[in-house]
Amino acid sequence: MLILGGLAALILTAAAAATGLKRFHIYAGLTLLFNIAGTFLPVHEGVTTVLLGVTILICGIWLLARFIRMYPLPDEEDGRGGE
């Protein structure tokens, strides 16, 4: 599992380098952290994988909420409505 975690972290680091998004570096670090913790703690590997996924999902929801606050939908009076 540690090898797969390292490979996933490497892919996320490459994605960060290709896109310039710094959060992929954070995701890569979290991937390594969760996989190392799962290796040394007496928990099932699936638990650490799910925790990593939930952490990334929470970050995504936070980013979406921030985007929606910054760029709200325009009013319905702009002519795009059905009525």
pLDDT at 64: 96
Hey, how many other C-beta atoms are within 10 angstroms of the C-beta on 5? 22
Distance of alpha carbon 49 from alpha carbon 39, whole angstroms: 12
Residues 6+ apart with CB under 8 A from 39: 1, 2
* Close Cβ partners of 55 (under 8 Å, ≥ 6 residues apart): 30, 34
Which residue numbers in the chain have pLDDT < 50?
none
CA 68 – CA 71 distance, rounded (Å): 5
Query: According to the model, what pLDDT value does residue 82 have?
Result: 54
